[in-house]
């Protein structure tokens, strides 16, 4: 079964400094029909104006992944981490028993555009940890690049849940495919461009949920597209 979540169906809040779109219920946006998909709890597309951001705040028992599309995101946390996330980087923070952090646009002139992902961990009470790793466009172009997983396979960032997160860039008519194991479920998020996924056209901001399917195929639809693919238990 395939279900499409169109970009304009998402929750949308413009705070002035932050323009954010929520695929699932988050903060002041509540939609009982879209609270989560399996362990995928939050999928926010955020645009932050120059020199603004999220002040220090806390999380616990959540696997948090950020994926920057444009601009620079400055990160600080109570673990002592200070870093800047740029396009191609995958940032991971396991909140575990508790961590505080801030995220700010590192530029005084340009906005930052990124995707914020929360995944429910396989258990509560882990020790907090942080990781960040770059993945070049060449690793994703016409390929499914594993960027985060429960096993840390293929140089991916190891997270605390049975999820395989892939990133791909599709040029023109390039194509990628994946067999879906029995009992597994897929969420596909179009980040930019247009693609055709299992015969369904996706534009930037659209999401696709697949359950009880045996395979996944995506191809470019004329313009360069970038997708995130979540393979979930």
Q: What is the pLDDT of residues 56-71, one digit of tens each?
A: 999 999 999 999 999 9
224 sits in the region (left: phi over 0; alpha: psi -120 to 50; else beta) called beta
Overall average pLDDT of the 196-223 stretch: 95
Q: What is the pLDDT of residues 115-131, one digit of tens each?
A: 999 999 999 999 999 99
Domain count, the chain: 2
**Is residue 2 one of the residues assigned to a domain?**
no
In the block, tokens 């575990």 appear at: 96
Residues 54 and 130 in one domain: yes
- Tokens 């696997």 belong to residue: 63
Whether 129 and 146 map to the same domain: the answer is no
Statement: residue 21 has pLDDT above 90 = yes
Judge whether residue 222 has pLDDT over 90. no
Q: 125: how many CB neighbours lie within 10 A of its CB?
A: 9
Q: CA quadruple 104, 167, 140, 222: dihedral positive or negative?
A: negative
Q: How far is CA 165 from the centre of its chain?
A: 8
Q: Are residues 106 and 51 in the same domain?
A: yes
Distance CA 42, CA 40 (A): 6
Look at residue 122 in the predicted model and tell me its pLDDT: 98
Confidence bin at 172 (pLDDT 50/70/90): confident
For residue 173, is pLDDT > 80?
A: no
Dump pLDDT digits (tens) for 176-198: 999 999 999 999 999 999 999 99
pLDDT band at 17 (very low <50, low <70, confident <90, very high): very high
Note the Cα 167 to chain centre separation in Å.
Answer: 9
Average pLDDT over residues 27-51: 97
Alpha-carbon gap, residue 50 to 38, rounded angstroms = 34
Which structure tokens are listed for 13? 């809040």
User: Is 223's pLDDT higher than 90?
Assistant: no
Name the DSSP letter for residue 1: -
Q: What is the mean pLDDT of the chain?
A: 97
- Give the domain range for residue 143: 138-232
Tell me if 180 is assigned to some domain. yes
Mean pLDDT within 150-167: 98
* pLDDT score of 151 more than 80: yes
- List Cα–Cα distances, 5 to 33, 70, 101, 117, 210, in angstroms: 11, 23, 30, 16, 11
Task: Measure the N-to-C terminal CA separation of the chain; round to a whole number of Å.
Answer: 16
pTM recorded for the entire structure? 0.97
The angle at the Cα of 122, spanning 213 to 228, to the nearest 5 degrees, equals: 45
Q: What is the mean pLDDT of residues 130-147?
A: 98
Q: Is the pLDDT of residue 83 over 90?
A: yes
Query: Whole-angstrom Cα distance, residue 214 to residue 34?
Result: 24
Q: Is the residue at 187 inside a domain?
A: yes
Domain C-terminal end among 135, 156, 190? 135
Does residue 155 lie within any of the structural domains? Answer: yes
Does residue 138 carry a pLDDT above 90?
Answer: yes
| Domain-embedded: residue 1 | no
Return the percentage of the chain with pLDDT > 90, whole number.
97
Residue 3 domain-assigned (yes or no): no
Strand partners, 200: 197
Both 108 and 124 in one domain: the answer is yes
- For residues 34 and 58, membership in a common domain is answered with yes
User: Could you tell me the two tokens for 11?
Assistant: 């929750």
Whether 193 and 223 map to the same domain: the answer is: yes
In the predicted model, what is the mean pLDDT of residues 132-148?
98
């Amino acid at each position: 079964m395939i279900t499409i979540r169109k970009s304009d169906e998402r929750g949308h809040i413009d705070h002035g400094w932050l323009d954010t779109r929520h695929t699932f219920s988050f903060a002041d946006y509540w939609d009982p029909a879209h609270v989560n998909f399996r362990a995928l709890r939050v999928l926010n597309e955020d645009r932050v104006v120059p020199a603004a951001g999220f002040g220090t705040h806390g999380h616990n028992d959540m696997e948090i992944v950020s994926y920057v599309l444009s601009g620079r995101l400055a990160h600080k946390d109570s673990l002592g981490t200070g870093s800047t996330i740029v396009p191609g980087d995958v940032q991971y923070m396991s909140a575990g028993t508790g961590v505080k952090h801030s995220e700010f646009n590192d530029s005084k002139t340009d906005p930052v555009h990124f995707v914020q992902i929360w995944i429910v961990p396989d258990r509560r009470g882990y020790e907090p940890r942080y990781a960040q790793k770059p993945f070049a466009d060449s690793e994703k172009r016409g390929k499914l690049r594993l960027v985060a997983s429960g096993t840390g396979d293929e140089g991916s960032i190891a997270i605390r849940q049975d999820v395989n997160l892939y990133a791909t860039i599709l040029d023109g008519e390039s194509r990628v495919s994946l067999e879906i194991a029995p009992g597994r479920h897929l969420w596909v998020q179009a980040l930019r461009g247009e693609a055709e996924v299992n015969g369904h056209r996706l534009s930037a901001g659209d999401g696709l949920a697949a359950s009880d399917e045996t395979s996944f195929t995506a191809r470019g639809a004329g313009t360069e597209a970038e997708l995130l693919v979540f393979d979930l238990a």
